């Protein structure tokens, strides 16, 4: 069996650490039904290599508590903390017509909803604890930036056409800080933002 390429893997969970002293593993799940993880024979690492094989699981706060092949102690379970768990894209059911997996957004072109101007491409989808963010690689080059994945900022997603229509906030890329205009400190303001 050849491992799936990283582009074909979907993130479904992350090991949160040990549960108890008998080697059970707490897994934060990113699936609608936490027990979906038990349907997959092997959960893989991002590179496609095997990570965990679940033998049993039960629903717990923010995910599942599972027994895994080869994990017999609290120390072994704790050593897995932070391990991201993936499954091959083809192992998941096809989404409904108006649905998609976040991984399907990666590589799509981003255009401005009002002007159709090319903004860039989606490099990744991140979540740092609040809402999902689209990491955008600018069409004209430069540093990537984050676009909130909200209805206001991303009013339309056209997976079949390979495009996302966005209305980015007007302050993206502009310097932050106090508005010193009109205070007589314009020279200081220019130096401040340099």
Classify residue 145 as exposed, middle or buried by CB count within 10 Å of its CB (0-12, 13-18, 19+).
middle
Handedness of CA 89, 90, 95, 100 (dihedral sign): positive
State the pLDDT at residue 6. Answer: 52
Q: Is the pLDDT of residue 37 over 50?
A: yes
The predicted-structure confidence for 80-118, as pLDDT tens digits, reads as follows 999 999 998 888 888 877 788 888 899 999 999 999 999
Region for 184 from its dihedrals, namely left if φ exceeds 0, alpha if ψ lies in -120 to 50, beta otherwise: left
pTM: 0.64
- Count of other CB atoms within 10 angstroms of residue 147: 22
């Amino acid at each position: 069996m050849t491992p799936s390429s990283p582009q074909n893997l979907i993130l479904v969970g992350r090991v949160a650490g040990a549960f108890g002293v008998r080697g059970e593993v707490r897994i934060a799940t990113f699936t609608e039904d936490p027990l979906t993880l038990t349907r997959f024979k092997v959960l893989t690492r991002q590179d496609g290599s095997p990570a965990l094989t679940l033998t049993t699981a039960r629903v717990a706060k923010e995910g599942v508590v599972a027994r895994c092949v080869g994990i017999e102690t609290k120390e072994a379970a704790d050593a897995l903390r932070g391990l991201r768990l993936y499954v091959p894209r083809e192992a998941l059911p096809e989404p409904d017509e108006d649905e998609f997996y976040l991984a399907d957004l990666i590589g799509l072109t981003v255009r401005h909803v009002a002007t159709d101007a090319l903004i860039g491409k989606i490099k990744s989808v991140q979540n740092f604890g609040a809402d999902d963010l689209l990491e955008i690689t600018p069409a004209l080059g430069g540093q990537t930036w984050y676009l909130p994945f909200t209805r206001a900022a991303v009013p339309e997603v056209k997976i079949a056409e390979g495009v996302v229509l966005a209305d980015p906030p007007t302050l993206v890329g502009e310097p932050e800080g106090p508005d010193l205009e009109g205070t007589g400190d314009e020279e200081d303001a220019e130096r401040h933002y340099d």
